[in-house]
Structure 1
């Protein structure tokens, strides 16, 4: 018997998933057999500007996480990372050179030219 996971439900004021990102995320989760899974977004130290995003596909939230349903998909984020991403939008581009998931973060004071890291 597994213990219940203690998490909170958030809303799109924290992170909003745009339609192109939601579509691609749904496809990735289905390919991995995790149709009910989620995208975990974390902010970790690193990159040229001091902070960077780490994204993983997960089965669901862990203790103390915030679960944000947005555009038909779920995003999970830990409380510390939530402080840095509040108000952000997640988009997806299949551009050959600049493609992938992109976070537009209103809290980022400085971003590097590669768009992979930021300072808040």
Structure 2
């Protein structure tokens, strides 16, 4: 039997949860949520990815927050620990915003980031 985890990999603001639910409801096909991951790219080295999910992949960590389901790619887990996802609409753009404590730097255009892996031991309760 696995011990219950006392933390979620990431959290969603109300606006992000609402947007995830809208995307899933308006998707063609059988979407059940969004998968969040990272990939190499951009001038800072890494980019966040978000794709509609029809089914969970082995190893995905499912985060259910405020009625929205987000699946975290296992290869991105340590880079996304503690991240809060928001959805913002401004005069010039709308989109998801990642508030990630593992972010070391970001490029000037805001499309890519440099990330370091989180220390899972820092998340363990003190003995």
For this pair of structures, how many residues does the alignment match?
Answer: 112
Q: Output the aligned Cα RMSD.
A: 2.1
Q: Partner residue of 2:119?
A: none
Which one of the candidate residues 100, 105, 113 is aligned to 1:110? 105
TM-score between the two structures when normalised by the length of structure 2: 0.78
* Aligned residues of 2:11 and 2:82 also touching (Cα < 8 A): yes
Q: Which segments of structure 1 move beyond 4 Å, counting only runs of 4 or more? A: 9-12, 33-36
Give CA-to-partner distance per residue, 1:79-101, whole Å, 9 cap, x none: 21011111001100122423211
Q: 1 or 2 for the larger relative contact order (CA 8 Å, sep ≥6)?
A: 1
Q: For the structure 1 residues 43 and 75, does the alpha-carbon distance in structure 2 shift closer, same or farther, using more than 3 Å as the test?
A: same
| Aligned positions of 1:25-104 closer than 5 A | 25-32=20-27, 37-104=32-99
Any unmatched runs of 5+ in structure 1?
A: 1-8
Q: Structure 2: which 5+ runs fail to align?
A: 116-127
